[in-house]
Structure 1
């Protein structure tokens, strides 16, 4: 029924997301379609994110 369709959709969505991520890791870039044509964006997902020190928030 409808739940099976949702499950199938989610599985495909996860596969596509994984494939996009792996492509970017291997190639350092992603391509996407925009109104003005195919564009490329550089990505660096291999580097470690900088650790941020927790900040005390003011209540006032």
Structure 2
């Protein structure tokens, strides 16, 4: 247990630990932004595809 506490103090005092936390937060933000972008593009493509299919179905129904 004492060894664990010593390692925890060293990690706390080490500036590399702080940098690692900052990079982890940055990676999390980038990941969230990327997922949001992909979901947004997916909704846009789905809407465009639905609109196209509806328009083509309407055109085909009028010709038939």
TM-score by length of 2: 0.43
Structure number with higher helix proportion? 2
Higher strand share: 1
Structure having the higher Rg: 2
Structure with more contact order per residue of length (Cα contacts < 8 Å, sep ≥ 6) = 1
